[in-house]
């Protein structure tokens, strides 16, 4: 197996419109496709499929994706924090400085947790070792 890197995420949501507004209007994703029950959005080389589900299986609570982290420049970080606050997005941690980078964790309408982080893997590992 020769995995090359990240490809995409599929996120189940209760309301395609509400989730699409969040990803497009708040996080700034570009809409690539919108169907009756699905939408595809992207930022650069990252893409996400939003898939509307009428009922979420209760067995999935607490399982699956813990959070999804995006890289953001330190110059843009604080403005992004203000945007999240002004749009009344639920912030669950931060903003805080972790090692050399700033981070903030927040929730999408269906509870998917996101992180904006200004550091990279090498810098993160320097604080763990």
Q: Report the catalytic residues.
A: 115
Q: Which residues contact 23 (CB under 8 A, 6 or more apart)?
A: 29, 41, 48, 50, 108
Q: Tokens standing for 12?
A: 């189940």
Q: Where are the alpha helices (DSSP H) in the chain?
A: 16-21, 74-86, 121-128
Q: Which residues contact 8 (CB under 8 A, 6 or more apart)?
A: 46, 47, 48, 49
Return d(Cα 13, Cα 116) in angstroms, integer: 21
Q: Do residues 38 and 49 touch, judged by C-beta distance below 8 A?
A: yes
């Amino acid at each position: 197996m020769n995995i090359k890197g990240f490809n995409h995420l599929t996120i189940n949501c209760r309301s395609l419109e509400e989730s699409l507004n969040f990803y497009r209007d708040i996080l700034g994703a570009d809409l690539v496709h919108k169907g009756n029950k699905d939408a595809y959005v992207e930022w650069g080389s990252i893409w996400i499929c939003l898939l509307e589900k009428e009922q979420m299986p209760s067995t999935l609570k607490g399982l699956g994706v813990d959070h999804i982290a995006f890289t953001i420049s330190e110059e843009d970080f604080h403005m992004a924090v203000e945007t999240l606050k002004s749009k009344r997005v639920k912030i669950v941690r931060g903003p805080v400085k972790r090692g050399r980078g700033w981070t903030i964790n927040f929730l999408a309408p269906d509870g998917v947790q996101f992180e904006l982080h200004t550091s990279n893997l090498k810098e993160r590992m320097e604080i763990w070792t």
